[in-house]
Amino acid sequence: MTMSEKKKTEENGIAEKEGKPEEKIDNQEETVEDKLKAAQEKLLRTMAEMENQRRRFEKEKSDAYEYGGFSFALESLSLIDNIDRAIISLKNDESIKNHNNFSKIIDNIEIVKKDIVSIFKKNQIHSIECINKKFDPNFHQAMLEVEDNTKEPGTVIQEVQKGYMMKDRLLRPSLVGVSKKEQKKDKK
């Protein structure tokens, strides 16, 4: 071992002993009890760290199992939105309304929608009910304000787009219209 290597090992030994009493500076060897105590402390810290890491991994594993399909569910919401738009569009089209199979077409589209909704329910995905509820920024996104003296200000009175939850997590906020007091206009 060269001199520089000996110095490095001595410096490392000094760095490891930081925080310990300075009484051992005069080259006395550590007692067996001190070494045992230091080893026990190190072991306890290591065991505590391992337990914390185990808990973190268990939580991550649980979350991955519970919410693994979160992004898939979020992207699937557009299916329901588009089906609703298609139904509204068909019902508003006068040239198709008079067709003799119009009601069958609407019924078949509704069946597809019900199947998607049942799949969502099986996976604990549900819509947020917001009409006539107090505006909550955790679940709603205000798109417009509507003057209305019949409702308390801050009440959701219109739903522009449905919001959805997956178990206890927000998938997509509801896009809503919120009531506000009518402003009196001065007559000049």
The Cα–Cα gap between 18 and 183 comes to: 71
- Same domain for 176 and 132? yes
- Same domain for 114 and 92? yes
User: Is position 21 within any domain?
Assistant: no
| Boundaries of domain holding 150 | 127-180
Angle, alpha carbons 11-16-17 (nearest 5°): 100
Would the pTM of this model clear 0.85, i.e. be above it? no
Residue-wise pLDDT for 18-36, tens only, equals 555 555 544 456 788 899 9
Residue-wise pLDDT for 78-95, tens only, equals 999 999 999 999 989 888
User: Is position 101 within any domain?
Assistant: yes
User: Is position 63 within any domain?
Assistant: no
User: Is position 117 within any domain?
Assistant: yes
Cβ neighbour number for residue 176 with a 10 Å cutoff: 26
Question: How many domains does the chain fold into?
Answer: 2
